[in-house]
Structure formats: C-alpha cells, structure tokens
Amino acid sequence: MEAAEPVEIHPDLTGAPDEDLLALMARQDDEESAAIARAAFDAFYKRHERFVYYACRRRFSGFIDEATTEDLVDDTFIRVYERAETFRPSESSDPDKRRGWVRAWLITIAANLLRSSFRANAGAIEIQLTDEEWSQLDEDTCGGTSAEPEPLENQLVREAFEQILNAKQKLVVEATLDSYKVDSGRKQQRLSNEDSKALAEKLGTTPEDVRQTRKRAYKKMREYVQARLQQD
C-alpha cells in the first residue's frame, strides 16, 4: 500500500512576521500543525530565497559555481525548517533590523554548511549557531569594535591572511578551522586523517598536499607577522 500524501493546507501567511513563521515551523505536533509548518516554510522561502541566493553567490563565488550555490541555498532553507526552534529573535524593534537579523542568520547557516561540508562526517554535523556567532550577527567584530579596538597581532594576522595567502591556502586554513578545535587552553589537535582525506577529495589533491598547504600557510603568516612586528 502506498504511503498517504501529507495533508496540505494553504493559509495565507504572506504577511506574517518571520518570527511567527519560524515559530510555526518549529511546532509540528500533529498532522495539522505539520501542514501549517509547511505553509509557513513556503512563505518564508519565497520571501528570502532570492536575497540569500545572491548574497551567497557574491560571498562564495570563489569556492563554488552557480549550480552549487543553488544547492547550498536550498539546503540552508531545509536546515532552517528542520531546526527552526533554534532561532533566537532579534531584540531590535526596528523592522528593517529584524529582517536583517533573519537574513544574516540564514547566510551564516549557509557559510557554516559550506565549511562543514569539507569534513568527513559532514552529513552528521548539526548546523546551529554558537553564542559567539549569534552575537556577531549584531556587530561586526572583524577589525575590532568601537569599545575594543583590534589588537596589533590580530590586525597583522588578518593582513597576512588576506594579502599573503593564495586562494588554495586560504581555503585550506578556513576549511580546517573546526577540525583543530582550539580550546581556551590553546591546545592544538592534529587534523584527522578522515578530515584531511575528505578535504583532499574536494580539492582534487592528496591529504599530504592538504597538510603541507596548511603548514606552509601558517608558516608564511607567522613569518609575516614577525617581520611586521620587528619593523614597528
């Protein structure tokens, strides 16, 4: 016997606030609320998909082509639907900022999905924003804040990362950030064989090349920072 098609109901949610749509997506207790959740997803997707697509295309065009960008955007919305209960609403009363908050959250999920896909167990990774990432939606901490100017060493590392590394080195450094799990005690962990293999496959190279690329990138950044510090 074929499985029954899910019930579809189509309430007009086109004018509902994002926070309400996400709350509806998060509440799927029975068949009716699940149908309303799908309708809420329909409205939410149609409202934001276009912006998220062009924002991702702008930000990730160096890494992925247009077809892959579309897959990434679709996956982002599916994750939102699956984990809508993890959304934390903005505290702002300004409607533009509230919309900006939701869109910033969506693009951050896309960024995390793409970065996580380089790892061996990408399918099992839960995409949820950390407390630090939530706070960064509201304020750009790249380059310091008005209250806390960026320390010189951070400035120089940023300068080295942006200006000295080539595209492959940048990607390897960014893609392996999570694999190293730097904790508050600054303990270094080795890149696992599985993760280096997964990233190597993505890059069409060998795990050894990934390790060497990363090692050389860190060495170059360190030499650059040391040289600049000696100048000052």
Partner 1 sequence: MATKPKKSALDSDEEFEGLVHDVVRSCGSFRPETVDDVLKAEAEGLDRSEEPRRRRARDPYDLLRRGPKGSYNLRPLSGDAGDIEQEVAAMARAARAGREIPADVEERMKQDREEAERRRRG
Regarding 157 and contact with partner 1 (CB under 8 A), the answer is: yes
Regarding 55 and contact with partner 1 (CB under 8 A), the answer is: yes
Whole-number minimum distance, CB 103 to partner 1, in Å? 5
Regarding 90 and contact with partner 1 (CB under 8 A), the answer is: yes
Chain centroid offset of residue 101 CA:
14
Q: Select from 169, 168, 211 the least CA-distant residue to 190.
A: 211
Q: Footprint of partner 1 on residues 30-49 (CB under 8 A)?
A: 38, 41-42, 45-46, 49
Whole-number minimum distance, CB 46 to partner 1, in Å? 7
Regarding 131 and contact with partner 1 (CB under 8 A), the answer is: no
Pick from 13, 16, 24, 72 the residue near partner 1 by CB under 8 A.
72
Which of residues 151 and 193 has its CB atom nearest to partner 1 in the complex? 151
Residue 65: CB atoms within 10 Å? 10
The radius of gyration computed from the CA coordinates of the chain, to the nearest angstrom, equals 21
Tabulate helix, strand, coil % of the chain (nearest 5): 65, 0, 35
Regarding 79 and contact with partner 1 (CB under 8 A), the answer is: yes
Pick from 24, 81, 195, 200 the residue near partner 1 by CB under 8 A.
81
The answer to whether the beta carbons of residues 225 and 198 sit under 8 Å apart is: no
Burial (CB count <10 Å: 0-12, 13-18, 19+), residue 56: buried
Q: Show the binding pattern over residues 195-224: x = contacts partner 1 (CB under 8 A), - = does not.
A: -------xxx----x---x----x-xxxxx
